[in-house]
Amino acid sequence: MLFQVEMTVKLPPEMPAEQAAEIKAREKEYAQELQRAGKWRHLWRVAGSYANVSIFDVEDNAELQEVVAGLPLFSYMAISVTPLCRHPSSIREGDS
């Protein structure tokens, strides 16, 4: 099942730079692991902000919740989720 997930990160201004860097490094590692596994199909940065638009390919709502809640930056994010389905005019195979 495909989901569009919009994530905006809001780190507290008082967070020490070293702590922020460590969380960001763990986030990058986890995101790349999910991409290699095919769960995080697309990842785009939103220009001019600390935000992204992503496409996840997971079994269901529960798996999406598990995957997103596992993000090291999860507690610092505003998240919006939109379930997607294949458009009848699409010529792309494999998008379901």
Q: Per-residue DSSP letters for 9-25?
A: E---TTS-HHHHHHHHH
Judge whether 95 and 1 are in contact, CB under 8 Å: no
31 sits in which H/E element? helix 17-36
Where do the domains of the chain lie, and which CATH numbers do they carry? Answer: 2-82 (3.30.70.1060)
> How big is the chain by its Cα radius of gyration, in Å?
15
**Which residue, chain included where needed, has tokens 């505003």?**
78
| Per-residue pLDDT reduced to its tens digit, 70-81 | 999 999 999 999
| Per-residue pLDDT reduced to its tens digit, 5-61 | 999 999 999 999 999 999 999 999 999 999 999 999 999 999 999 999 999 999 999
